[in-house]
Chains A and B, each alone.
Chain A
Amino acid sequence: MDYSKVLSSTVKSIKPSGIRKFFDLLGDRKDVISLTVGEPDFQTPYHIREVGIESLERGRTYYTSNDGILELRQEICNYRNRRFGLTYNPKKEVIITVGGSEAIDLGVRALVEPGDEVIIPIPAFVCYGPIVELAHGVPVYIETKPEDEFKLTPEALKAAITPKTKLLILPFPNNPTGAVLTRDELKAIADVLRGTDIMVLADEIYGELTYGFKNTPFAAIDGMWERTITVSGFSKSYAMTGWRLGYLCAPQELVSQMHKIHQYAIMCAPTTSQLAAIEAVRNGDADIAMMRDEYDRRRKYILDGLRRIGIDCFEARGAFYVFPHIGGFGLTSEEFCQRLLDEKGVAIVPGTAFGDCGEGYARISYAYSVDHITEALEKMGEFVEELKK
């Protein structure tokens, strides 16, 4: 059978994830000191796991309502209110999703019509462009600049807007760069959008992981609530990646439409995960603080370590990544990472996996123990010394 004739041309045209390509190189090598992983090294706090276990023991294994257990939606609204002063109606303005990824898909699909332009600042997590393309939208990439610490600037946004612009994806705190936008910087973005009908999908999955300041959700900026779909979840802040649980908050006119896609494609997020998440969001603030403090110490340590071995890096203040400049050694990012892997057994992800503008950079995750980071830094130091010769 000639499958190329039966497959959707849209799906065929989508490029496989660039990060996948690099991970395939790693293969099953066991001897690698990896700084590549995009998830916490903490286990889900036990009081949260325990609720999940107990729910299984009690046989609570049924579907929930489409939008998720109301008690969980209520707790999420309570949390967003006590943390950020934001108000959402738990019955009409929240959907519990299968990870933040589903929420991104719902937001894009509910808004984008064929030919609509979606502005995506890059480097960014790899899913936005392909999801937009699947919805027959047109991704319009804005390359953020090292001199701006990879922040989206209002000038760059303004320049990218056309009459066809439907949606802005706002992926901050950012994977892979660790870049953040402060309240004032968000206000400047809001000023560009005010008076337009451009919607915003704020991917704030790393919103609890900022260092030295508290992150402001975009929906908290004056006048932005009504145009913002906020995506968040449990993976990063509560170390619950494998539970596959995220959520979105948005005005009810949007939620009622996204609800239909979710209802037909997913039905509901996993029940066990939802029950555990109630415990997380109700009693997990201290866990978040503990993990954030630990990430912050490692962040300072790895930034200092990189600078000591002669690799320049801007001070990333969010997520658990740094995005150092590795372009000064006469190698492309891919060559640098490949040789570092071959010659020293250290794995980091070339910046180009997150868009061509990542050339000259690499993503390094510090969701690892200090010992592990120390060992990797030593080997990287040797590698850089040898390159300089």
Chain B
Amino acid sequence: MPLSTQSQDSDAQYILVASLDNVRNISNILKAITFKDHAIFSATPNGLKVTVEDSKCLQANAFIQADIFQEFTIKGDSVGFQVNLTVLLDCLTIFGGSTVPGVSTALRMCYMGYGYPLTLFLEEGGVVTVCKINTQEPEEPIDFDFCSSNVTNKVILQSESLKEAFSELDMTSEVLQITMSPNQPYFRLSTFGNSGNAHYDYPKDSDMMELFQCTQTQTNRYKMSLLKPSTKALALSCKVSVRTDSRGFLSLQYLVRNDDGQICFVEYFCCPDEEVRDD
């Protein structure tokens, strides 16, 4: 057991130690939010939250609860740092990220504190790799001020049905328009591309619709380029909650089940593109 014998005595100097038998349980979920290099990590005794942002308009958060890890030790209330997510993912999959059952990479992730690198010990088949990734000054994530009290419309869908729609979306369209309404068309995704427009309508009584809570008709447009990365999270997830608040901000919450059947969440916030004129 190279990992456990490695540095038991030196553990005391770390302010964060997290170990995991199967690194895929976190690498998969991190892939779901990889659309920019910089990721803000903030750890609390509850677990790890990783945030990636784009253009001050899009924010993705991955929540990895403490009990996903076999060991999760943190000194103090919170630890924050920023690393290059692409580099981190390259390290996590350094053994090739094999999906063969029974073959998994174990991870021990340690952080000594401000100014120190993030140290990864990765082990597969008796081979240990140590990676040190320089950390950066953590930035303050944007507060989208999206609170559930301001939510006007909310639907929960089984991801399967949205995956189909997202895989077929007309990418020549600059925007994705989402209409949510207590009346028809209930929940509609629209694109306006080179060859015409397309609408995908989900009735509120569909088997795929787990929850339908729409109080008023709302139509908002979101940049396709911003929403595109969220399809990675969608692909992993089994359920998705789509919410809009009174300002038209969009929240997409994905429930992701990992290899061991544990549940994690990925959340995307997106600003609306512009006011939609009724036409």
Specify whether A and B are partners.
no
